[in-house]
Amino acid sequence: MMDSPVVLVVEDDRDMRSALGVALRGRGYDVVEASTGSQALAKFREAPPNLMILDLGLPDIDGIDVTLRVRHEHELPIIVLSARSEEEQQVRALDAGANDFVSKPFREGELMARVRAALRYAPRAREYGEIEVGDIRMDTVRRRAFVNDVEVELTPTEFKLLHVLISEAGRVVTHQQLLTEVWGASCKNEVQYLRVYMRQLRTKVEENATRPKRIMTVLGVGYRVVP
Helix (H, G, I), strand (E, B) or coil at 216: strand
**Interaction of residue 193 with another protein, rule CB under 8 A:** yes
**Interaction of residue 14 with another protein, rule CB under 8 A:** no
What phi and psi, each to the nearest 5 degrees, are found at residue 94? -65, -45
**Interaction of residue 196 with another protein, rule CB under 8 A:** yes
**Interaction of residue 183 with another protein, rule CB under 8 A:** yes
**Interaction of residue 211 with another protein, rule CB under 8 A:** yes
What is the DSSP code string of 145-177? EEETTEEE---HHHHHHHHHHHHTTTSEEEHHH
Size of the site for another protein (CB under 8 A): 27
Contact 56, 80 (CB under 8 A): yes
Which stretch of DSSP H or E encloses residue 200? helix 191-205
Of residues 23, 87, 123, 227, which one binds another protein by CB under 8 A? 87
**Minimum distance from residue 25 beta carbon to another protein (Å):** 18
**Interaction of residue 207 with another protein, rule CB under 8 A:** no
Of residues 219, 222, 225, 227, which one binds another protein by CB under 8 A? 219
Closer of 123 and 212 to another protein (Cβ)? 212
The one segment of 28-36, 42-50, 123-131, 185-193 that binds another protein by CB under 8 A:
185-193
Tally: H helices and E strands in the chain:
8, 12
**Minimum distance from residue 100 beta carbon to another protein (Å):** 16
Verify cis geometry, omega within 30 degrees of 0, for the bond prior to 105: yes
**Interaction of residue 216 with another protein, rule CB under 8 A:** yes
**Interaction of residue 29 with another protein, rule CB under 8 A:** no
Where in 90-205 does DSSP place strands (E)? 100-104, 130-133, 136-139, 144-147, 150-152, 172-174
d(CA 152, CA 206): 11
User: Where on the chain is the footprint of another protein (CB under 8 A)?
Assistant: 84-85, 87-88, 105, 155-157, 182-183, 190-193, 195-197, 199, 209-212, 216-220
